[in-house]
Chain A
Amino acid sequence: MRAPIGNQPFLTLLLAAAAAGLAAPSAARANCARPIGYVATVTGSTVSIQPVNFEARGCPAAGGMLRENVATGVAERLADFCGPGGAEPDQGLPYVDECAGPGTYRYGFATPYPCSHAACSTDYFTEVTVPAPDPGCQRSAGNAAPTAFGTPPWGDRQAICTSASGGGCASVPSGSGAVLLLDGAVLLFGLALLRRQRRR
């Protein structure tokens, strides 16, 4: 004897939710994929920039890490001075910018991330504020001063693309529809078979 399917109103509700998902704006978040960008931490005048992405891209990166002073618009390339890993075990190493003066800065790769349709968003940079000067600050050995850089790739736009806004390079990711169709087909086929089993 087979067990009954169970709580029918609950199942109906879930199926309605799945149907609503089919009708919702398509955006690829495989079980809700994370955004791609950076997480910055400020300690005194030291800024640690942790790249967050699916490929473990971190320090040192081809093209390097840029720092733009928001007030002056001056962009510089940081030395490839890498911090310790561990905070994000699945990520690459963070960049460490020592002795940054007070001000608001944008940090991002000189070669931006490619737009990922699967992530919630893909960012050019992260913005942080260093609150106070640190007159006695000295760089660590091997951490050269930043060097002048031309124009950063981002302009004033932080997002390279988002998966739900329809802007940037965002578009309907083909994989999203295929996933919903696959799950829906298996579900409907299974429910039909279970119903037949109950009738016997």
Chain B
Amino acid sequence: MSPLLAPWLLTLAVEVPCVAALYPGRRLAMGLACALGTTATNLAMNGLLPRWLGTGATWLVTGEAAALVLEGLLYWAVARPRDPVRAFTASALANGASFAAGLLFLPPGG
């Protein structure tokens, strides 16, 4: 199994419900947008970004901040009506929750 699979699946499982919860009228569309956006940012962060930034704190903060901004912009673009506050709140909730889930549920070496 690819080592990228478990982080990706856990991130999806946490972030999609978070984003859907903040868009009660458009849960399906926003959940789908979240799944696509999160897939792109998660795989880019764990698969590509380390080649340029290594795996230290610079990579961690840069990758997570970029995910927060990019996913917020995606939700802002997709949602109707467009609301940047809600978009970035959803992105922060989803990314914070998935990061915390990673700390709690992925065992060392697992």
Q: Answer whether residue B65 sits at the interface, using C-beta atoms and an 8 A cutoff.
A: yes
Does the CB pair B96–A118 fall under 8 Å?
A: no
Is B74 located at the chain interface by the 8 A CB criterion? Answer: no
Chain B residue contacts of A176, Cβ below 8 A: 60, 103
Give the interface residue-count category, chain A: 35 or more
**From residue 156 to 200 of chain A, which have CB atoms closer than 8 A to chain B?**
159, 162-165, 173-176, 178-180, 182-187, 190-191, 193-194, 197
Chain B residue total in the interface (Cβ 8 A):
59
> B91 contacts which chain A residues (CB < 8 A)?
186
Is residue A67 within 8 Å, beta carbon to beta carbon, of the partner chain? no
- Chain A residue nearest to B72 (CB atoms) is A186
Q: Please report the C-alpha to C-alpha distance between residue A14 and residue B14 in the assembled complex, in whole angstroms.
A: 10
Report B8-29 CB contacts with A as 1/0, cut-off 8 Å. 0011000001100111110000
A33, CB-defined interface residue at 8 Å: yes
Excluding A33-B46, A34-B46, 10 further A-B contacts by CB distance (< 8 Å) are A11-B22, A11-B93, A17-B97, A21-B96, A21-B99, A31-B42, A32-B102, A118-B56, A159-B109, A190-B88
